[in-house]
Amino acid sequence: MVTADAHPNLTTKEPMPTPSAATASVPAHRLPSLDALRGFALLLGVVLHSLMSLSTIPWVVTDVSRAPVADALVGWIHLFRVPLFFALAGYFARAALARKGPRGFAADRGKRILLPLLVFWPVAVLPVIVVAIAFAITHPQLPAAPPSDDPLAIGTPAHLWFLWSLSQFYLVLLAAHWLIPRIVPLALRERCSVGLGRAFTGPLGPLWAAVPFAVALWLQPSGIVGPATLRPELPASIAFGGAFWVGWCWGGVAHALNRLRRHWPARLAAAAVLTIGCLIVSAPAAPSSGDSPAVLIATLVAYPLAAWLWVYGLVGVAVTYVHRERPVVRYLADASYWVYLTHLGWVCTLQLALADLGWPWALKFVVILGGSLAATLLTYQVLVRATPIGRWLNGRTYPTRQRPERPAATATAR
C-alpha cells in the first residue's frame, strides 16, 4: 500500500520544492494507481481493435454488421489512449533512469521493450497478415487496399509500433541525458525542470500538453496514427514524443501526482463536451478546400485539448481512488503487456469468422472482445505468469500457487 508518508507525490501539504532535476518526483517503488492506468490503456487497445471491423474505418476485415456507434467508440478511444500511454511511459522513464543510471536503463528498456518487438513479431503480426490474405481471397467483391510500394512495409510493426517508437524516444532521452549536463549549468537545469513540472502539472497543464498534438495535426489533419513501417513519421513523432516529454516533465516537480489529481471532475466534464463536439463535426478530418472554420478549429484546437483533458482527468481519477494493490487490478495490470502483444491475431481471426453472419454488431463485439481476452489471459496464466517470460516482460514472476504457511514451532519437544 502506498501512503502519503511513503510517497512524496501523495502528500496533502506541498512544501517549497528543492529537488534536483533528476529526482524531483521519482517514485521509490511501483505505484498501484499508475500501473493500473497503464494496464487500462493497453487493454483499451484490445477494445479498440475489436471494434474496428464493425466500424466504417478501413481494416483487415470488413463486417456486414457495421454501425456508426462503433465509429464513435473507436474515435473516442483513439482520442486519448495513445497520448495517455506515452505520457505514463515518460513519467516512468524518469524514475527508472534516476534509479538505474544510463547503462542500467538502456539494458532494461532494450530487454523489455525492443527485444519483445523482435521476438514476438512472428507470433503477433504474421497471423494478422494471414487473416488479411484469407479475407481478400474469400471476399473478392470488396475493394482491397492497394499494395504498398514501400519496401519496409513487409516488416510492418503493426500494433507493436509503440514499442519501436518508445525505443526511439529512449534513445533520444539517453542522448539528451548525456549532452545537456555538458552544456547547461546545473542551477539552470533545475530551474527549468521545476518550472516545466509546475507548468505541466498546474491548472493549465492540459493546454500546454496539447501544443505538440496540435502541431502534429496541423501537419497531418486527417488524424495521427502510429507508423506503418519502421521508418519514423514526423507527425506521430511530434504527437507521441511530445506526450512522452510531458510525462517526463511531470516528474520534474515535487508532489507531481498530488498536483495532477486536482480538478479531475472539471477536466473530464470538459473533455466529454469537447469530444462530442469533435465527433459532431467529424474532427479530425482530411483537409479539403471546403473545410469550414468549425472543422479547422475542432481539428487544431478542440481535438488535441480534448485528448489531453481525458489524459489529465483519468490520471486524476486513478491517483485519487487507486490507493492500494487489489488482486484483480494487479493481475490485469501485469497481464496487460502480454495481452496487448498477442491479442491482434485472435481478434482478427474472430472477426473473420463472424464477418458474414447477420448478428447484431454489439453481439459480435462482445464475442470478439471476450474471446480474444479469454485466449490471451489463458495463455498469460499458463505460459507467462510463473515463467521466465513473465520475469522478462514484467520484471517479476508469480508462483503457480501460494505455499501454505508453516505452523509456528512449539516450545515443547516431544
Looking at the domain assignment, is residue 49 inside a domain?
yes
Is there a contact between 157 and 230 (Cβ–Cβ < 8 Å)? yes
**What one-letter code names the amino acid at 160?**
L
Is there a contact between 104 and 112 (Cβ–Cβ < 8 Å)? no
What percent of the chain is modeled with pLDDT above 90? 72
Mean pLDDT of the chain: 87
| Beta carbons within 8 Å of 352's beta carbon, 6+ residues apart | 61, 131, 134, 135
pLDDT, tens digit, 9 for 90 and up, residues 368-379: 999 999 999 999
Looking at the domain assignment, is residue 73 inside a domain?
yes
More confident residue, 59 or 397: 59
**What one-letter code names the amino acid at 61?**
V
Looking at the domain assignment, is residue 262 inside a domain?
yes
Domain of 21, in residue numbers = 8-140+185-394
- Count of domains observed in the chain: 1
Looking at the domain assignment, is residue 413 inside a domain?
no
Residue 143 predicted with pLDDT over 80: no
CA–CA dist 107, 223 (Å, integer): 34
Looking at the domain assignment, is residue 154 inside a domain?
no
Whole-model pTM: value is 0.88
Element at 271 (helix H, strand E): helix 264-280
Looking at the domain assignment, is residue 238 inside a domain?
yes
Give the C-alpha distances (Å, rounded to integers) separating 245 from 29, 96, 135, 198, 363.
21, 15, 40, 14, 40
Looking at the domain assignment, is residue 158 inside a domain?
no
pLDDT for res 36: 95
Question: Alpha helices, DSSP H only, in 139-255?
Answer: 161-183, 186-201, 205-219, 234-250
Cα three-residue angle 53-54-60, rounded to 5 degrees: 10
* pLDDT category of residue 409 using cuts at 50, 70 and 90: very low
Cell triple for residue 181? 549536463
Looking at the domain assignment, is residue 306 inside a domain?
yes
Please spell the DSSP secondary structure of 326-392, one letter per residue. Answer: -HHHHHHHHHHHHHHHHHHHHHHHHHHHHTT----HHHHHHHHHHHHHHHHHHHIIIIITTSHHHHH
CA–CA dist 217, 213 (Å, integer): 6
CA–CA dist 52, 50 (Å, integer): 6
pLDDT for res 286: 59
Residue tagged 489531453 (cell numbers): 308
Residue 12 predicted with pLDDT over 60: no
pLDDT for res 11: 39
Instruction: Kindly give the interhelix angle for 205-219 and 234-250, rounded to the nearest 10 degrees.
Output: 170
Nearest to 342 by CA among 45, 140, 80: 45
Residue 144 predicted with pLDDT over 70: no
